[in-house]
Amino acid sequence: MDVLVTGGAGFIGSNLVRHLLEAGDRVRVLDDLSTGHRANLDGVEAELIEGDVRDLELVRRACRGTEVVYHLAALPSVARSLADPGTTNDVNVRGTLSVLLAARAEGVRRVVYASSSSIYGDAPSLPKEESMPPLPRSPYAAAKLAGEAYCRAFTASLGLETVSLRFFNVFGPRQDPASPYAAVIPRFASRMLAGEPPVIFGDGRQSRDFTYVENAVRACRLAAEADGEVAGEVLNVACGRRTSLLELVAMLNRLLGTSLEPAFAAPQPGDVRHSEAAIGRAERLLGYRPLVGVEEGLAETVAWVARAAPVGGWS
């Protein structure tokens, strides 16, 4: 199968590219390398088109001749979106519309869109089910929800098959610990490997449904291959269990043989208190189930962070 991965030099994207190549697909990548890294694609035989997902003509060229588009390109981070809502909207909403327009024009069979659990906001009901009203608390979450709405509209009215996957706190190799917007697991792992305490924003009892990246990329492939019943659907992709940040620190201490106590700082605006996914719909429609648990995934992630650390440590 010929496929396009937008954002394929990023964290999830580069893991997906490797998965697709191992499955025998011919892979093209579109990435402007603003948050992704060319080094993430070292050693893989994928065509790289460097450019902006908002450039409709470029995206049309990237889509040409492909059967499936995995749309992962985005400007990530809740914190970044609070600092610059306009750019987050422009990249994540206009960029998604550009991909949908290009895919339809070029006869792509299906677009698999990477959405986010952040669209649920801080509604108290757990686990989060796809039928719940979305309550986004950040511009990032609002932009991801807008992307879902565009996907559903293109399926309902314009004949383009789409599937939106709401990823819950994906972690794993190639997730940059040095980014100013680094996610919690690589940030904790890099500090603890250096013998420094992890910094928790809040009391540490907040919880997340941490999802190892191998589970997420497998869900992408299943979404591309599922029958037409899945077109237009929105599906949670997660492990279906909660882990508090205090529990996460304890797991990392066990893996590293350390006893580092966390430091605490003020909660960050836009963060939600608890997150846990109901994954029954993805199980029913895709045959999805998480194959790698949190602790096993943490071990793989810590090993990668240790191997990838630059001389002098992550700055």
In three-state secondary structure terms, 113 is strand
Q: State the CB neighbour count (10 A cutoff) for residue 302.
A: 21
Q: How far apart are the first and last CA of the chain?
A: 40
Which phi and psi (to 5°) does residue 163 adopt?
-135, 125
Under 8 Å CB-to-CB from 291, ≥6 apart: which residues? 214, 215, 218
Active site residue 113: no
Catalytic residue among 113, 120, 140, 150: 140
- Four-point Cα dihedral 124, 116, 292, 247, nearest 10: -40
Under 8 Å CB-to-CB from 133, ≥6 apart: which residues? 123
Written as six digits, the tokens of 247 are 């529990």
Closest CA to 185 of 161, 211, 159, 163: 211
CA-to-CA distance for 162 and 216, rounded, in angstroms? 17
253 Rama sector, left if φ>0, alpha if ψ -120 to 50, beta otherwise: alpha
Residues known to be catalytic? 140
